Amino acid sequence: MATTSSEHPLSGVWKPYYLQAMHYGPSSVKTHLLSHLPSDTSKAFIVTGSSLATKTSLISQIESLLGSDHHAGTFASIKQHAPVAQLDEATDAVLKDPAIDTLISVGGGSPIDSAKVISHRHNEKRSKYLHHITIPTTLSAAECTGGAGYTDNTGHKVGIFSPALVPQVIIYDCTFAKETPQKLWLSTGIRSLDHGVESMYHPNAPDSPTRQLCLSAIAQLFEYLPKSRKEPGNEDFITRLQLAAFNSLYSLGLNLGGGLGLSHSLGYALGSPYGIPHGTTSCLTLAGVVRLKAEKPEDAEQLAKVLPYIGRTRSGDNRKDAVAVGYAIDDLLKDLGLVTTLKEHKVGEDQVHKIAKLATRTEEGRLYDSIVSLVKSKL
């Protein structure tokens, strides 16, 4: 990957996405949703999961807001990791109605990614991307990139990317996010932490705004995730965490290029193949990867900058400070009750080398051996 930013000398370039609007705060959906439809005659199709549709009133609220003038249909069967079978069904439903010009995704990463894939397929068939309004209810930050993933019939993750797939409008409504189960909420907060930390040492991340916003996001996540655990209904804490999720990833923009980093690569190797949610994969991988990255001087230099943002004092030794960041992440996981093992997810020692191969795309070498050791430590 070609590097477009440098610390010595300080130089770089920022290539932002285009975002029409990002709203946040209580009742933002009710206040702003209709104003972001492309036209007075727009027809919108809702993409979501069954839990939100059947266990809450959130989807029916959106359907009522849209009314018969704007509501074209709802697909409420998106499952974890976006299996292709459900994507096929949803895509067929959208393609059958040529009046549909807007997708409204509601939920976490799977509905948001599914809406991106539907838009991608619509463009392949009709030469037009669909307008995408997203209402995230987790902290996964899937709304912050033009990438999307789904699971094919073999159980492997398939990725697509286009700047045109970045949602045009993001609405962070804390009254919607209050419906999210606490463990899912907190673990996806660690997913956002994963985004922010790995953006710090991403070779294309510019110092401004990306790394500065990521430092802010990391600080907010360390402060407000424990507070949100103690007061899960506190709307101010929810909103601050939603903004931290946004800051953890959106500003990387087109600088993202390929993958985000090693923790994410390892997370993808654990996610779809073993049915582990990506919030949980970040709980398993991030701290260990940070300690591995501490051995690389240029990465340690960026990671050491995190320490004062999480209430710790820098020693002046970048390697030592970067390792301390990894242990601080471990402490945060303990505080949040998110410590887990691979065996809890029915992943045994016989899978270690397969996981390492998927994550590193090799079967030997120093990195491969390090990942084998990391995975074994999480059994």
User: How far apart are alpha carbons 286 and 321 in whole angstroms?
Assistant: 16
Q: pLDDT digits over 123-140, tens only?
A: 999 999 999 999 999 999
> pTM for this one?
0.95
* Mean pLDDT, the chain, whole residue set: 95
The tens digit of pLDDT for each residue in 238-277 reads: 999 999 999 999 999 999 877 899 999 999 999 988 999 9
By the 8 A CB rule, do 67 and 73 touch? no
Q: DSSP characters for 226-263?
A: HHHHH-TT-HHHHHHHHHHHHHHHGGGGGGG-S---HH
Question: CB under 8 Å to 239, separation ≥6 — which residues?
Answer: 24, 25, 26, 172, 174
Return the pLDDT at 1: 47
Euclidean distance between CA atoms 330 and 377, whole angstroms: 13
Asked if 196 contacts 247 with a C-beta cutoff of 8 angstroms, the reply is yes
Q: Round to whole Å and give the CA distance between 352 and 346.
A: 12
State the pLDDT at residue 79: 84
Residue 227 has pLDDT above 70, yes or no: yes
> With 80 as the cut, is the pLDDT of residue 180 above it?
yes
Q: How far apart are CA 303 and CA 111, in angstroms?
A: 32
Q: List, for residues 1-48, the tens digit of each pLDDT value.
A: 456 788 889 999 999 998 999 999 999 999 999 999 999 999 999 999
Q: How many CB atoms lie within 10 A of CB 345?
A: 16
